[in-house]
Amino acid sequence: MRVDDRARIAVLVNSTAVGVAKDFLSLTDDDWLAVLDAKLLTYARTMRAALPHMIAGGGGCIINLSGRGGRQPSAAHLAGGSANAAVTLLTKGVAESYRTRGIRANTVLPGPIRSERADAVQRGNQALGASAAGWDRIGEPQDVAEAVAWLAGEGARHVNGTAIAVDGGGTAAV
């Protein structure tokens, strides 16, 4: 691939919301493949496309939105949570692999954020009789946007390979 200097990419933000609200035994291979393709593989593809431009431009910043389900399992979000855990691991690996090339890569782990999707996840949890732990404080889209903006800016120039929870303290995991 030839990288054109005019096509420098300074910041890449990957964000997709996908999930299948089913219990484990109801998840089909197609469900798993759809979630992994929409989340993990899409992020891998966009990073693979952006990295040569970032390297040619002297560095860059990758921010992958994952979700707290990658750290805290939910009965209704096992496929999505597994994909989120994989995104966090992939991001850490990219951060380590390209840090000497001026690339920073971090993950943002939103908890429940006011949206139609959050409402659907909560309905799925309730339908499966799953715990509502951590749903007592719903964030706003701006909360996630501000975390992403900070990571993309100079104030986070020494932050690399980390996962930042934006969940109002709702994640029970360390």
Q: Classify residue 103 by its DSSP letter.
A: E
For residue 167, give every residue at least 6 positions away whose Cβ sits within 8 Å of its Cβ, in sequence order, or none.
68, 109, 110, 111, 112, 134, 139
pLDDT in tens, 97-131: 999 999 999 999 998 886 666 666 665 655 555 55
Q: Select the more confidently predicted residue: 70 or 51.
A: 51
Per DSSP, 137 falls in state S
End-to-end CA distance of the chain: 41
Q: Which amino acid is at 49?
A: A
Domain ranges of the chain: 5-166
Percent of the chain whose pLDDT exceeds 90: 63
Q: What is the mean pLDDT of residues 54-76?
A: 91
Q: How far apart are CA 128 and CA 77, in angstroms?
A: 10
Q: Which residue from 108, 84, 93, 91 is spatially nearest to 36, judged by alpha carbons?
A: 84
Phi, psi dihedrals of residue 114, rounded to the nearest 5°: -50, 115
Q: Which two tokens stand for residue 9?
A: 């990419």
**Which pLDDT value is given to residue 88?**
97
What sign has the CA pseudo-torsion 42, 44, 49, 51? positive
In the numeric block, the tokens 């303290």 are attached to 169
CATH homologous superfamily of domain 5-166? NAD(P)-binding Rossmann-like Domain (3.40.50.720)
Other Cβ atoms within 10 Å of 156 Cβ, number: 18
Provide the pLDDT for residue 112: 82
Q: Helix 42-56 to helix 78-98 angle, to the nearest 10 degrees? A: 20
How many residues does the structure list for the chain? Answer: 174
pTM of the entire predicted model: 0.86
Looking at residue 77, its pLDDT comes to 82
